[in-house]
Amino acid sequence: MKKMVVEALTPGMVVAREVVSREGVVLLEKGGRLTQAHIAILTRREVPFVYIKKEE
C-alpha cells in the first residue's frame, strides 16, 4: 500500500483503502480501479491523498 497525493494519481491504479469525503460520504470503495473521472471528483472534493495498492 502506498499513500499518494491526488495530483500524482493515474487512471488504472487500484484503491487500497476506502476513500471518504470530509462529510463522511464514500467516494471510492477499496479495490476500485481509478478512472480520470474519479481523479477529477477527488480533486473537486479536495481529497488530499489516497492509499493505492502496490503493483505486484
C-alpha–C-alpha distance, residues 15 and 49, integer Å = 11
pLDDT value for 36: 98
pTM: 0.88
- Angle (CA) 16-39-14 rounded to 5° is 25
CB 38, CB 28: distance < 8 Å: yes
Q: Which grid coordinates are listed for 18?
A: 476506502
pLDDT in tens, 5-34: 999 999 999 999 999 998 999 999 999 999
Going along the chain from its start, the domains and CATH numbers come out as 2-52 (3.90.105.10)
Mean pLDDT over 26-51 rounds to 96
Helix (H) or strand (E) holding 37: helix 36-44
pLDDT value for 53: 96
pLDDT value for 56: 66
Q: Which grid coordinates are listed for 1?
A: 500500500
pLDDT value for 34: 97
